[in-house]
């Protein structure tokens, strides 16, 4: 999974990487020159026991003047590079796909905006975007300041309570990318990752159509029992499973939970054992999380994880 700012997978990240190399390159050259001049003058000084002259020699004045001018040119050059780089990463074509991302302590709510309300897709901690098509994220926060950062695709953008910010993404090639919350937002800030899949446009449409559908029906008795356990437990007080009586929005939408690679905002891989551990005692995995522990028998729990594992 690609997770590095200099391993770019799109034009915006390339702009930022380019800026990094310009700044790092120029700063390295300046550093080497300064150190070289320092070494040479220390060497000369050692051999020269005569007191320093009262009048500064003309060549020294020229070197000082030249260095000051060069410093000014470099600073102006950096400011211009920064200005144009910033313009390039905020320049978004109007036909972009729009996705609303809402940050919560400590997970990401993701809604694919659509003019037809029924066609909106809601998911959590996982974005799927089509390769080559610009995407604009509409960023909001429910509680404190968070920051959205998928380093291979673009820089960071803060999510502020009561205020909407925007961030554009373009993925140039298909792949799996990982992102993080990049602003300290409380105890579980480090467990607030987001997974991003860049898929071909056809795969993306297939994925979106699958996500629009209601939850999969149970296929056997164990899963049917699991659905009964779910609907009679406290789970439905916070979560939604489309097509059932469960429609609360305090926690992540679980309609297609099994299609997501990880659970608990990246804290665990999405498998039955981790799901069971998470349901029984989330506080031991992610202390401070809003999800309370749920008591249930081993049989009920395995039925529940069988049902949830079928929600593709
Ligand atoms: Cu959310 Cu740090």
Q: Dump pLDDT digits (tens) for 164-175.
A: 999 999 999 999
Q: Are 280 and 267 in contact (CB under 8 A)?
A: no
Average pLDDT over residues 217-240: 93
CA distance 22 to 18: 6
**Average pLDDT value for residue range 169-193:** 95
In this prediction, residues 54-79 reach a mean pLDDT of 89
Kindly state if the Cβ of 156 falls inside 6 Å of ligand 1: no
pLDDT of 100 over the 70 cut: yes
Q: What is the pLDDT, as a whole number, of residue 48?
A: 63
DSSP label at 234? Answer: G
Instruction: Report how far ligand 1's centroid is from the alpha carbon of 181 (Å).
Output: 4
247 Cα to the center of ligand 1, angstroms: 26
Ligand 1 proximity of 265 Cβ (cutoff 6 Å)? no
Distance 74 CA to ligand 1 centre (A): 36
Listed in sequence order, the DSSP H helices in the chain are: 11-47, 58-90, 201-212, 221-232, 272-280, 282-285, 298-309
| Average pLDDT of the residues of the chain | 92
The reply to whether ligand 1 has any atom less than 6 angstroms from the CB of 180 is: no
Contact 5, 18 (CB under 8 A): no
Task: Find the 216 Cα to ligand 1 centroid distance in Å.
Answer: 32
Rounded to whole angstroms, the Cα distance separating 291 from 283 reads 8
Map tokens 């039925």 to a residue: 303
Decide: 127 and 89 in contact? Cβ < 8 Å.
no
**Beta carbon of 181 within 6 Å of any ligand 1 atom:** yes
Confidence of residue 47 (pLDDT cuts 50, 70, 90): low
């Amino acid at each position: 999974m690609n997770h590095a700012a200099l391993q770019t997978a799109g034009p915006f990240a390339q702009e930022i990487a380019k800026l990094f190399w310009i700044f790092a390159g120029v700063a390295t050259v300046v550093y080497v020159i300064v150190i070289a001049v320092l070494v040479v003058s220390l060497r000369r000084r050692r051999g020269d026991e005569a007191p320093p002259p009262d009048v500064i020699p003309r060549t020294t004045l020229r070197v000082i003047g030249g260095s000051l001018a060069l410093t000014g040119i470099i600073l102006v050059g950096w400011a211009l590079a920064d200005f144009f780089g910033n313009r390039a990463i905020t320049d978004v074509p109007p036909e972009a796909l729009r996705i609303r991302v809402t940050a919560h302590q400590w997970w990401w709510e993701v809604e694919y905006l659509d003019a037809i309300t029924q066609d909106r897709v809601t998911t959590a901690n996982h974005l799927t975007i089509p390769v080559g098509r610009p995407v604009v994220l509409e960023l909001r926060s429910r509680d404190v300041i968070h920051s959205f950062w998928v380093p291979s695709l673009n820089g960071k953008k803060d999510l502020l309570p009561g205020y909407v910010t925007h961030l554009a993404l373009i993925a140039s090639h298909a792949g799996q990318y990982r992102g993080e919350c990049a602003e300290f937002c409380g105890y579980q800030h480090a467990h607030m990752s987001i997974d991003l899949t860049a898929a071909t446009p056809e795969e993306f449409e297939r994925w979106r159509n699958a996500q629009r559908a209601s939850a999969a029906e149970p296929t056997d008795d164990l899963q049917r029992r699991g659905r009964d356990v779910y609907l009679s437990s406290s789970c439905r007080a916070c979560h939604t499973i489309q097509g059932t009586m469960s429609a609360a929005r305090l926690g992540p939408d679980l309609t297609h939970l099994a299609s997501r690679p990880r659970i608990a905002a990246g804290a665990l891989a999405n498998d039955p054992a981790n799901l069971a551990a998470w349901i029984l005692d989330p506080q031991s995995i992610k202390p401070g999380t809003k999800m309370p522990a749920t008591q249930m028998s081993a049989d009920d729990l395995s039925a529940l994880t069988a049902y949830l594992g079928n929600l593709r």
